[in-house]
């Protein structure tokens, strides 16, 4: 789905729009997430279906606002995605692995519990509270 309009990444001359990465195997759920993000304002949504595709996305986008990942905490760490995503400025939002919610939130990441709504998606990209806060 890698949706990138020809003017992707810019809302006005010289002004960048947020880029969101969505790793989701179910294209209907991916489109729901993308639609919610677009409804909140101009943005570029990059949909990938596997963690292997994330490296390409990071190479093509110097800054990722948030990454919505259909992965558990252990899968993210095992795949080595946490550091590169955080280095690109991404807020990590997991969409599976509810048992890890406390740990994930303690890291400043967010968790979307399925089934989620538009409001829940938009709330997940608000700045996370610092540890202990």
pTM for the predicted model, two decimal places: 0.84
Total domains in the chain come to 1
Residue 130 domain-assigned?
no
Q: What range defines the domain where residue 98 resides?
A: 19-125
**pLDDT number for residue 14:** 52
Which pLDDT value is given to residue 6?
35
Closest Cα partner for 33 from 127, 126, 128, 116? 116
Q: According to the model, what pLDDT value does residue 16 have? A: 86
Q: How far is CA 120 from CA 12, 31, 124, in A?
A: 28, 15, 6
Question: Residue 75 maps to which CATH number?
Answer: 3.40.50.2300
- CB under 8 Å to 112, separation ≥6 — which residues? 68, 93, 94, 95, 120, 121, 124
Please report, in tens digits, the pLDDT of each residue of the chain (133 residues total): 444 433 344 444 456 899 999 999 999 999 999 999 999 999 999 999 999 999 889 999 989 999 999 999 999 999 999 999 999 999 999 999 999 999 999 999 999 999 999 999 999 987 555 444 4
Residue 80 placed within a domain: yes
């Amino acid at each position: 789905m890698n949706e990138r309009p020809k003017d992707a990444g810019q809302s006005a001359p010289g002004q960048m729009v947020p880029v969101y990465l969505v790793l989701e195997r179910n294209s209907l759920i991916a489109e729901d997430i993308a639609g919610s993000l677009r409804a909140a304002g101009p943005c570029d949504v990059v949909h990938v279906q596997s963690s292997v595709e994330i490296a390409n996305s990071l190479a093509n986008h110097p800054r990722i606002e948030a990454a919505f990942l259909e992965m558990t905490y252990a899968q993210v760490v095992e795949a080595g995605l946490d550091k590169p995503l955080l280095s690109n400025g991404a807020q990590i939002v997991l969409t599976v692995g509810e048992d890890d919610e406390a740990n994930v939130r303690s890291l400043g990441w967010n968790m979307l519990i399925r089934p989620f709504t538009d409001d829940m998606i938009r709330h997940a990209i608000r700045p996370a509270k610092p540890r202990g806060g």
